[in-house]
Structure 1
Amino acid sequence: MGKVFTHMTMSLDGFVADPGDQVGELFDWYAAGEVTVPNPNENVSFRVDDAGARVLREWTGNCGALVAGRRLFDIADGWGDRHPVGAPVVVVTHRPPEDAATRWPTTTFVEGVEAAITRARQIAGDQDVTIASATISQQALDLGLVDEVCVSLVPVLFGDGVPYFATLHRGHQLLEDPIVVQGRRALHLRYPVRH
């Protein structure tokens, strides 16, 4: 069975978007190099440095399912039913869109974080499950469902916005020492979670 990990690109002061849900300079590292990393969504391109390419390939190469929240899904317009990781998407929501079956046929809508992770694991089989949503990441950590926390840390300060981590209801969470990859416009960090 694969692992469950979170991944978000984050400002140095801990935000994954500004107060208006815009990512600003956070995604600059996706265009900061000469190496093209292909993905199934023709509307998204990755031209990163060598280190960023290794990280992207590692995170997407074994991804069997991606879990996102409804807010991010709506902001991204469902990635056109083709998320750049190339895996099926499971969206945590109380209310699936009315046109879900026709507009997003490969996307699964599930109520509750634990149910979404369970469904994503079923879809992924032996591959990894990636959580790409700040709120869902926090809830999954609270439930003890995360094996690794990944951050692409970007050299910008937002001052305010959507935090990657806010209140963990379970409280204090210890992580192992990070695996660090220095890239252009991003420092990529992987922290195994202590269980």
Structure 2
Amino acid sequence: MATVTANMSMSLDGFVSHPTDGVATLFGWYSRGEVPVETVEDRVELKTSAEEAAALEDAKTSLGVIVYGRRTFDDADGWNGTHPLGVPVVVLTHSIPEGWPREGSSVHFVTEGGIEGALAEARELAGDKTIAVGSADLTQQALNAGLLDELTVDLVAAMLGEGIRFFDHLKGTPYELRQTWVRPGNGVVHLGYQVVKP
């Protein structure tokens, strides 16, 4: 069965987005290196350290689908129908946006069943590959529902002071995590954890 993981770039003070800066500061590490990382049609230019580039290429190979919320979909303008990493996307939303779904798009919408419904759709699309949850709110919902297997954090050397927190509204805490790896980067430390389930 597919592994469900969540990944976000997060500031030292726990934020994944700022009200005016958005994710610009947090995503800076994607362009601080010398090694280019390919994206679909080179729509996004990524240049990281050699080690980070190798890790991103491995992630692209193992990734089956990404699950996002409607806010991320809107902010990304639907990725023009195809995510830069070339994998299918499941968007959990109350209503399907006007003009969607689009022919030839790899974006799928789930309007019922909450996070459980979104992950069920993701499992159909991912097969044995990894399912990545790419929003703070959905990560919190998956943790609260006991549906998250792994958690990876790109801990950025910055403090935002305000914005959207990665780990708000958690229920059933404390959660126990087992650290599986640590990898230093350029202005960022990459952390991997396994979620210990009761």
Interval of TM-score (by shorter of Structure 1 and Structure 2)? over 0.9
- 8 Å CA contact 2:81, 2:102 repeated in 1: no
Q: Does 1:42 align with 2:74?
A: no
Paired residues of 1:152 and 1:186 also in contact (CA < 8 A): yes
Name the residue aligned to 2:86: 86
Asked if residue 18 in structure 1 is aligned to residue 18 in structure 2, the reply is yes
Residues 150 and 188 of structure 1 are in contact (CA less than 8 Å); yes or no, is this contact kept in structure 2? yes
Greater strand proportion:
2
Query: Structure 1 104/185 Cα, relative in aligned 2: closer, same or farther at 3 Å?
Result: farther
- What TM-score does the superposition give when structure 2 sets the normalisation length? 0.93
More displaced 10-residue stretch of structure 1: 147-156 or 20-29? 20-29
1:85-104 alignment to 2 at 5 Å?
Answer: 85-102=85-102
Higher mean Cα deviation, 34-43 or 73-82? 34-43
Contact 1:63 1:85 in 2 (8 A): no
* SS of structure 2 residue aligned to 1:72: helix
Q: Which runs of 4+ in 1 moved over 3 A?
A: none
Query: What is the deviation of 1:41?
Result: 4.7
1:183 offset after TM fit, Å? 0.9
- C-alpha offsets along residues 33-57 of structure 1, whole Å, 9 cap, x if unaligned? 1111111153211100012112212
| Residue 172 (structure 1) shift | 1.8
Q: TM-score, normalised by structure 1?
A: 0.94
8 Å Cα contact 1:21-1:161 kept in structure 2:
no
Q: Counterparts of 1:4 and 1:176 in 2: how far apart (Å)?
A: 15
Q: Using the aligned pairs only, state the percent identity.
A: 41
Q: Deviations over 1:89-132 (max 9, x none)?
A: 00000111121122773211102111000110110001110110
What whole-Å deviation, never above 9, does each CA across 1:60-104 have from its counterpart, x for those lacking one? 221111100001110111111221222100000011112112277
Cα distance in 1 between the residues matched to 2:13 and 2:180: 18
In structure 2, runs of 5+ residues without a counterpart are none
- In structure 2, relative to structure 1, the CA distance for the partners of 1:172 and 1:187 (3 Å cut) is same
Gapped regions of structure 1 (runs ≥ 5): none
The answer as to whether partners of 1:41 and 1:83 remain within 8 angstroms in 2 is no
Please, what is the CA RMSD of the aligned residues? 1.5
Q: How does 1:28-39 map to 2 (within 5 A)?
A: 28-39=28-39
1:104-143 counterparts in 2 under 5 A? 105-111=105-111, 112-143=114-145
- Aligned 8 A contact 1:64 1:127 in 2: yes
- 2:150 aligns with one of 148, 167, 172: 148
- The answer to whether structure 1 residue 159 and structure 2 residue 161 are counterparts is yes
Deviation string for 1:127-163 (max 9, x for gaps)?
1101100100100111111110011011000011111
Q: Does 1:72 align with 2:33?
A: no
- Aligned residue pairs: how many? 195
Change in 2 beyond 3 A, CA 1:155/1:169: same
Distance 2:19 2:103 in 1: 29
